[in-house]
Amino acid sequence: MAVTLLSARERYGEIGLRIAVGARPVDILTQFLTEAVLLAAMGGVGGILVGGALIMIGSQFTGWQMVLTWQSAAYPFLILFGIAVAFGAFPALRAARLDPIVALRHA
């Protein structure tokens, strides 16, 4: 949420310009929600890749059988998307409701 809030706050000028030239609030909302979900997805994929690599390394060093199942990757990924949408919604709604005059003044 902090990253999305910071992203929206630093881009007030861009948001104001988009609204001034005809972007609807739903367009702004979609933009920021998409950014939040993509950022979370990249982090999730990176986490799964690093986790899978550590499982392979750990099983070779310890001799234990370790397996990365689809459930152990899918469930956290679904939770990740839920959190991304939930915590990305507030900054996205806030950006979508900006007054273009006020937003352009901050540019």
CA triplet 87, 89, 83: central angle to 5 degrees?
A: 30
pLDDT tens, residue by residue, 27-69: 999 998 998 899 899 999 999 999 999 999 999 999 899 888 9
- Residues 107 and 12 sit within 8 Å (Cβ to Cβ): yes
pLDDT tens, residue by residue, 26-35: 999 999 899 8
Task: Give residue 35's domain range.
Answer: 2-105
What is the number of structural domains in the chain?
1
